């Protein structure tokens, strides 16, 4: 005990997906020293899973596109819980961030005249997603990684941050342990950027990897930051459902963008049966028009399969619930049907959706150029998170910044596909820039050795306990209950039960024990991560109880309608109370300035 190595950086970035890497690159470019902590190996973060593309109103494919339309699409998609300023900055700056990636070596698919090609995606009025087949996320992270390694950033791979360290009100560092040996390291930093991704591991059926335990959310919460919109979880409509072993793995929306359609067991394209009023004027009402849209006809409106994710997910749930599902509890997603419409369909599918082809062939024995896929909703994205200032990405705690999925604001109640990769680079850059500025204006804080020792002792506790339950079982129970009680369809009584269960699981987690030593011991890592997972689960359940309406990713059976009055005007906030308990309340959404409101009004006509 009491042994830890010390490191000093101007800016410490926690998380090395797209947002963390972009933040680190920006901070390093401004001349400050930068440390980057990744939970896994560099380049393995969940960003690699992003398939469809990166939204930016470059207007290469349809020159009617511009930031105003992108802004309005994002706000409509988020059902107006979004931070309007973030949505504006995002729409305005995404094109530059895309061009900059090309300057750093990214290679996007091209238009005929050699410019960046853009594809259609749910909720985007025009073809807007720069993409590379269906592996855009890999292209993004690899580009940032290969550029980043030459910027003098010090990378600490396979480290988990267990606590943030404060000096007074300000965050001045972080305590982490390395996976390989379990050694503690103290990182003193003038500014800390959290870029830790989402909370998807709180649910049983998820597209998220083991890393997605809400570490950043929980670190920020414990440091005194506000979390908002935690009830807004995105369930992606199309995850694999069979075989069981692959349940939850993502099937890109790109399949539908390329013309894939959803059918129930009766062969009906059920998405035509339920088109929300908000989107009626933008949605095709017949098969023919929908097809023309996917093939680039600018006069056509999009097919209902490309409605927002929350809506499509619920329609699928309804088909399954009403007994019109596929044999393994999903519905059919069919891209093979395009054979009826084009000559070289099989080759076209393989070229446009190579990893989907590969994934289904290898994991499910399904040839997507010949047969339909079975798909169903899977936990995908956390819209809510750390409340930050739109310009600087700083949280309520001085010196603590957040960007990417762990920050909240841009996506409101529902994220549009393609807005995540652009979010990462737009706000990653901003966080890096402002954190570097903050570091230039502030010195290192004082760090109390005894506190560090106490924190490392807490983290080690599961290894020290002689007896106790394994963390794996507790985690599995939590995921099961969150899925059932706080999942796609929610009810007050069930969520209250979930809260009780979480309290019980917390007690058990506090007494969990793992055998073995500190060296690369996944049992221990699971025990540490479980604490974060429990914190975010509680935040999700509390927030979901507080929002007594249905909006975006948050759907309540007991309040199935949107409340245009009260709940349209508030964000739900969670924070740590003075007594150490979690508190929930509501914050009024700041009014949208006239010029932005006008854009929204024009676009929704």
Contacts to other proteins by CB under 8 A: 40-46, 48-49, 99, 102-105, 107-110, 113-116, 132-133, 135, 138-139, 142, 146-147, 149-150, 157, 180, 209-211, 242-246, 249-250, 354-355, 358-359, 362-364, 470, 472-473, 476, 514-517, 519-524
Neighbours of 286 (CB within 10 A): 11
- The whole-angstrom separation of Cα 478 and Cα 149 is 38
Residue number with CB closer to other proteins (242 or 555): 242
- The whole-angstrom separation of Cα 316 and Cα 262 is 9
Q: Is 490 a catalytic residue?
A: no
- The whole-angstrom separation of Cα 411 and Cα 197 is 14
CB 408 to other proteins: min, Å: 24
CB 146 to other proteins: min, Å: 7
- The closest of 335, 315, 334 to 325, measured between CA atoms, is 315
Tokens of 383: 């819209």
15 Rama sector, left if φ>0, alpha if ψ -120 to 50, beta otherwise: left
Residue number with CB closer to other proteins (515 or 590): 515
Tokens of 384: 């809510």
From 256, 263, 430, 547, active-site residue: 256
- The closest of 470, 526, 517, 529 to 180, measured between CA atoms, is 517
CB 157 to other proteins: min, Å: 7
CB 459 to other proteins: min, Å: 16
Residue number with CB closer to other proteins (519 or 585): 519
CB 451 to other proteins: min, Å: 29
The C-alpha R_g of the chain, in whole angstroms, comes to 23
- The whole-angstrom separation of Cα 565 and Cα 322 is 32
Residue number with CB closer to other proteins (50 or 230): 50
Q: What are phi and psi of 164, to 5 degrees?
A: -95, 150
CB 518 to other proteins: min, Å: 10
Residue number with CB closer to other proteins (44 or 556): 44
Q: Is 256 a catalytic residue?
A: yes
**3-class SS letters over 145-183:** HHHHCCCCCEEECCEEEEEEEEECCEEEEEEEEECCCCC
Tokens of 145: 């990684």
Q: Which residues of 69-82 are buried (b: 16+ CB within 10 A; e: fewer)?
A: bbbbbbbbbbbbbb
Residue number with CB closer to other proteins (359 or 395): 359
Residue position matching structure tokens 């760090």: 447
Tokens of 277: 């009023």
**What element of type H or E holds 369?**
none
- Measured distance between the N- and C-terminal CA atoms of the chain, rounded to whole angstroms: 65
CB 147 to other proteins: min, Å: 7
Alpha-carbon distance values, 589 to 85, 233, 568, 570, 571 (Å)? 12, 19, 8, 5, 6
From 84, 119, 236, 411, active-site residue: 236
Residue number with CB closer to other proteins (18 or 173): 18
Residue 395: exposure state from Cβ atoms within 10 A (0-12, 13-18, ≥19): buried
Residue number with CB closer to other proteins (515 or 593): 515
Residue position matching structure tokens 């000096």: 167
Answer whether 516's CB lies under 8 Å from 524's CB. Answer: yes
Alpha-carbon distance values, 316 to 111, 269, 353, 488 (Å)? 34, 11, 22, 11
CB 515 to other proteins: min, Å: 6
CB under 8 A, 24+ apart: contacts of 597-605: 599/68, 599/71, 599/72, 600/71, 600/72, 600/75, 600/76, 602/68, 602/72, 603/68, 603/69, 603/72, 603/73, 603/76, 603/125, 604/72, 604/76, 604/278, 605/281
CB 444 to other proteins: min, Å: 29
Question: DSSP for 194-263?
Answer: E-----GGGSSSBS--TT-S-HHHHHHHHTT--EE-TT-EEEEEEEE-SSGGGTT-B--THHHHTT-EEE
CB 376 to other proteins: min, Å: 15
Point out the residues that are catalytic.
Answer: 236, 256
């Amino acid at each position: 005990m009491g042994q830890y190595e010390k490191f000093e950086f101007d800016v410490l970035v926690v998380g090395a997906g797209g947002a963390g890497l972009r933040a680190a690159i920006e901070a390093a470019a401004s001349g400050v020293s930068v440390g980057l902590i990744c939970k896994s190996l560099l380049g393995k973060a969940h960003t690699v899973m992003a398939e469809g593309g990166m939204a930016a109103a470059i207007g290469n494919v349809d020159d009617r596109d511009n930031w105003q339309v992108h802004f309005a699409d994002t706000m409509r998609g988020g059902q107006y819980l979004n931070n309007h300023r973030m949505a504006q900055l995002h729409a305005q700056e995404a094109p530059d961030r895309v061009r900059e990636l090309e300057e750093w070596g990214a290679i996007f698919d091209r238009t005929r005249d050699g410019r960046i090609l853009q594809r259609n995606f749910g909720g985007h009025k025009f073809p807007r997603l720069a993409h590379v087949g269906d592996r855009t996320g890999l292209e993004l992270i690899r580009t940032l990684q290969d550029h980043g390694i030459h910027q003098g950033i010090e990378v600490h791979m396979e480290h988990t941050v267990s606590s943030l360290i404060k000096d007074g009100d300000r965050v001045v560092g972080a305590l982490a342990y390395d996976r390989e040996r379990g050694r503690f390291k103290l990182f003193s930093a003038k500014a800390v950027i959290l870029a830790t991704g989402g909370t998807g591991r709180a649910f049983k059926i998820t597209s998220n990897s083991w890393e997605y335990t809400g570490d950043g959310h929980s670190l920020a919460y414990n440091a005194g930051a506000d979390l908002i919109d935690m009830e807004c979880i995105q369930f992606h409509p199309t995850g694999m459902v069979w075989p069981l072993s692959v349940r939850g793995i993502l099937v890109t929306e790109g399949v539908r963008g390329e013309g894939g359609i959803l059918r129930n067991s009766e062969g009906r394209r059920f998405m035509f049966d339920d088109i929300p009023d908000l989107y009626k004027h933008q949605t095709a009402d017949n098969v023919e028009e929908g097809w023309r849209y996917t093939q680039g006809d600018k006069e056509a409106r999009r097919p209902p399969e490309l409605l927002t994710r929350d809506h499509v997910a619920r329609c699928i749930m309804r088909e399954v619930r009403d007994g019109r599902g596929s044999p393994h509890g999903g519905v059919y997603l069919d891209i093979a049907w395009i054979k009826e419409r084009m000559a070289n369909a099989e080759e076209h599918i393989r070229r446009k959706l190579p990893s989907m082809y590969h994934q289904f062939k290898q994991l499910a024995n399904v040839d997507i150029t010949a047969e339909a896929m079975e798909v169903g909703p899977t936990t995908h994205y956390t819209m809510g998170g750390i409340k930050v200032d739109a310009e600087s990405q700083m949280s309520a705690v001085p010196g603590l910044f957040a960007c990417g999925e762990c920050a909240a604001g841009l996506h409101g109640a529902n994220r549009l596909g393609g807005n995540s990769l652009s979010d990462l680079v737009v706000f990653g850059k901003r966080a890096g820039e402002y954190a570097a500025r903050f570091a230039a204006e502030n010195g290192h804080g004082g760090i109390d050795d005894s506190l560090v020792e106490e924190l490392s002792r807490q983290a080690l506790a599961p290894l020290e306990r002689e007896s106790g339950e394994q963390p794996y079982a507790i985690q599995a129970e939590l995921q099961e209950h969150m899925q059932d009680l706080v999942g796609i369809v929610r009810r007050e009584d069930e969520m209250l039960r979930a809260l009780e269960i979480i309290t019980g699981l917390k007690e058990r987690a506090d007494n969990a024990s793992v055998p073995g030593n500190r060296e690369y011991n996944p049992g221990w890592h699971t025990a540490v991560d479980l604490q974060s997972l429990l914190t975010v689960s509680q935040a999700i359940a509390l927030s979901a109880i507080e929002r007594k309406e249905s909006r975006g990713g948050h759907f309540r059976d007991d309040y199935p309608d949107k409340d245009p009055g009260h709940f349209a005007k508030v964000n739900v906030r969670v924070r740590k109370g003075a007594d150490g308990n979690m508190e929930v309340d509501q914050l009024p959404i700041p009014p949208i300035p006239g010029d932005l409101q006008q854009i929204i009004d024009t676009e929704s006509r």
